[in-house]
Structure 1
Amino acid sequence: MTGLEGGLAPLLAWLAEHPGWAGAVIGLIAFLESLALVGLLVPGAVLMFMAGAAVGGSNLPILPMLLWAMAGAILGDGLSYWLGWHFRARLRSLPVIRRYPGTIAQAERLFYRHGGKSVVIGRFVGPVRPVIPAVVGMLGMPPGRFLLANVSSAVVWAPAYLLPGVVFGASLILALEVMGRLMAWLVILFGGFFLLRWLLPRIDRPLRLAGHRLARALGRRPPTSWRWLGLRPLHAPLRALRHRGGWLWWLAVVAIVFSAGHALLGASPQGWERGLVALADAHRSDLVRVAAWRVTQLGGLLPVLLAAAALAGFLWHHHQPRRALLVLAAVVLAAAGAYALKAGLGTPRPQGLSEGADFIAAFPSAHAAGIAALVTAWVVLLPIRGRYGRRSVITLGLVIGLGVGVTRVVLGVHWPLDVVGGLGLGVVCGALPGLAGSAERVSGHQSLAVLGSALVLVMAATLTEVTHWPDPLEAYPRGAQVPEIAADDWWVGAATLADRRLGLGGRRGWFTAQWLGGEAMPTGFDAGWQAPPRWRWSTTLRWLSPQPSVERLPVLPRWHAGRLPDVVRIQPAAEPGMRLVLRAWRGATTAQGPVWLVWIETVTVRGGVLLPRLTRVALDQAGREAVLGRAAERSALQRRDDRVPRYAPASLAAPD
């Protein structure tokens, strides 16, 4: 151990006693390790391992530590890049740099060979790690490109350098037990990432080449035969296949056809749609509801039409009448198409909202269609230079469009496929200025037009929020609450509760029982049942063990109506590697206490190749009778036989 490492060893031991400072110290180590000049002197890999060992040995939460390490690495590389950008050639004359001339030369060769990827590679390569950001800044790498490489590499670097120490600190025996599989997973993840980076250009290039060939075959103008066959409108979209944007346009067409086909022919909504909407209902607090309602106003009909009119007016003023008319036509066509499909298909909204006066049919989402059409028109019209500038604008457009679309699901007024169909319809219509308006030259004035249109959109959405018109907050449903019912009504069946569990993927099996008794947990299940191990890094890593012990593994999550269970208990079974898992949700509240929805299943865990083999099976009839009978006897509850049996105190369970 060097003098520096030995001097820091007491500091790392002190972190175990003062966990509040752990994140700041880890961030400082990552910052210094990534900082130009200083990083050449600091043994960052050793210090990060020791810090991870201190975290693992202290059972500190690992996620905040990872975030601190990522932040420190990003700031260190960012400052190094700024130093290179600021000093340029003078960087070579600094005293510390002169001591490592080979390192600078190696970093330059890495940059000339790999370009922007050199920042990612250099993060993991010995002596050039703290130097490569300064070198790429000195050689003039664009800031946006560096920022993307800096953040993405830090997200991978922090766990790669910190987690081995965490594993070691959590338990030496556990570290030796799972290290092989942990390394195997890291190799798979890194290999998959680089395979994807290698594969995507090799898929993209043939597709664009095929688009170029098709464009040359079709020519600049549609063939005469197409005009007579009514295929002329397809000419521009087919020629657009020579660009990635053209492929996105056809992908939007596929999204419309797919989602509309499900709305028209399939069982609508799908099970996974019900699960996601239930998740949104369960977690829609008043704060989330208000925030989502404010964002969703960006897709309202009035703000979108006003923004489109402002954009068209600006283009008309700058002598681009064709594009101005196309912008208006694109947004109006998207809105009109959405409302026409609503009227024609008549698909119901969640919670029966379409039966009231505030909402019409669900498919497709008019908010998603309107904002997607407007944003797509912005992207098409902006005079973008450079590959990364176009990617940035397209990414921003996706964030705005998807943001409004997601709020429709968060607010519980649309199914997910309604949003998919609306976004697809908006993209298809919004691309009209680009598909049909290419005869007019793109000018710099269009940037001001798009900026003015965006300002009008924000102002109109703000006005809608202030006036609560024409889209008031009061029309949107509040979050789902546990209902309050009369125990007598529940017992005789007048007030029904869920008989089947609604998971994130849709309806699942029948509940084991409905149980009235117990405040903190269902009464009668205290003897023989115990709390499972909590999710910590040490318990999570046990899932990588070649010979997992079922008693030491935390319980995997299950949802009902968007909620995780209020109570989870486990009980070892007679067969090795098997346990019973009890989950209970508060289904309703009564004057006698909550009615619990009880789900009990048998879980078997066996060793696997990279992960354990997990089998989860609902209790059979004999198992249910045995488990429920013992608990009911201990708590003096009576049973009423239904498809899902009900258990209640004898005072309530009087004969009919």
Structure 2
Amino acid sequence: MGEQALGILTGLAETHPIWLVLLAFIVAFLESLAIVGILVPGIILLFIVGTLIGPEWTVFMACWLAASGGALLGDGLSFWLGWRYRARVPTLWPFSRRPELLSRARDQFHRHGGKAIVIARFIGPMRPIVPMIAGSMHVSNALFYRYAIPACIAWAPLYLLPGALFGASLELAAEFAGRLASLLAILVIGLWLLLWVTRQIYEFTARRSGWWLRSLIRWLRSHPRLGRLFGPLLEPGGREVLSVTLLGLLWLACLAVLLAVLLAAPFADTHWDADRQIASWAGSLRNHFADPVLAAIALATGSRAMLFLAGAFAVILLGLGRINATWHWAMAMIGGWFSGELLILLTGLMMERPEVMPSLGEVPFRPYLLACLVFGFFAVLLAKDLGARRRKWPYLATTLILGLSGFAHFYLGRASLPGLLAALALGLGWVAMIGIAYRQRASRRPHAPGLVLAFYGLALGAAVVNARSGLEALLEATELRPPAQSISRQAWQAGDWRKLPDRISSLGPFERHRFDLQLAAPMEAIEQALLAAGWQPVPEVRLGDLGSILIGRPDRAELPHLNKDFAGRPDDRMLRFDTQEGPVVLLRLWASGARLTPDGEPVWLGQVRAVEPGLFLGGLTRWYELGDRTDDAASILDRALPNWWQAAPEGGPRLYALPD
């Protein structure tokens, strides 16, 4: 379903750009609308809109105008609302709970006058507020729009252009480094969204926790038994009541998630093998540039590194004389680890683990559980020593680290989603429970900067040591290889070709990533036949060859053909055929892992496409595939192999094999 949704979204952007223009207008309008804009992650949404625009600069200009118009309409409506309800503005949310927002906006006007409208347009929290304040302060329409119109026009491209540049380079990056661009997009947008959600939840609960706490205390007083049990934790004069309450809410949420994952995990074990398939979502992102980086991140938050970090930091706490913190640190590590081992044993009795990668069957996934315990409890411990305004930063840092760690394990195919979710829920739930006890008993210490340097210094040292000693072994263990299999020639011709992968990647439109052919023959025989028919081998791309991309219109004989990745491996062979007046025909071949019996011919997966050079990003040059000329390209390949066995099954790739 996710793949279909992505294909539909991309297809709509390509065939019906008016929907993209409309989306830019709506997002900019909501981002600029009073109060509503505070809740809308407009930066992320406009970046995504820009990504879908790609290299089409006419569409970019239309989206620019639409976003500017939407922003101006949102500002104008906010300005009118401020004028219409000027007496009630201080009583509206969020000004009623955060009056400093109102005072900051008014200070902007007193200090900068009409320029405050321009300044606020480029400051996220103030953007949906200042126009309303301007209306409530009786700013004239002429003055307001004199500054609002140029501000909206200048603001829109700053949010659309990064995404447009990124989207325009997706295809180039897809050729040069597999799915590297898509991987970077997922990491940047995903981590950005994760941090934004974490910060919003923290600030939302922090602002309302006082009211929640009072309501909870009143409710507990009406229940004598529960009041005696939990009342001491929530005494009005007790220490760290707010933090204890928030940790309690986190514990309840983690408990609910853990129970849900444990109930659903037995139904997901049949899909674990798919997590290791080369056409899976994780496999579609694999490329030989990102593999070492994410493998190093996985090792940095792996079991060995986390056990070392937990032990070394306990020694530091003990050396500082923080006996209470050391005791709770040990309880968090040992208790969480023991609970995880019990759950792994229990789920192991209910589900079988895959033979290729047994860690996929770990629910919860052990290394990620240890990372959640170590980094999670350090955030609780550090936040205790910080002021109220700075306590969110340890939690945001932990969110970033755990987000990267979880994605790295999933990307490498070491952990399943149920295993990661169970580890996250158990780890953070246990940290919250021990954190409640710690925050009730501990006193604030003035060693926060030293603890940060010591903890993250140890973490960095452990990461470097583990990466140097285990990187090659981990890359080899997690390498995606096409499964070796033997298929009889007759069975392959009759339909067993369906057992082989049908696409390079699960991300994006199927037609763009589908394999056009399967070719059964030794590579020497393939090259001999094609060279005799006028095809030419494509040389490997060197760094100096990339300079021709920067030339406005280089000769097509000089423009390099960049590699595509399949399962993290570049194509094994590329050959091209130059037609006299038409486009270039390019053939790419990848090893499938299959061989035909009885002679053992390897089966190659291939794409044959018509390509021609064209401009993108306004001045660079690259090869573009001509989707409407794919059949013509296949016909040229047919004529190059006249004596070979050929078949074109309906809905499948073309099949080629040496004659009997």
What TM-score do you get using the length of structure 1 for normalisation?
A: 0.48
Of structures 1 and 2, the one scoring higher in RCO (CA 8 A, sep 6+) is 2
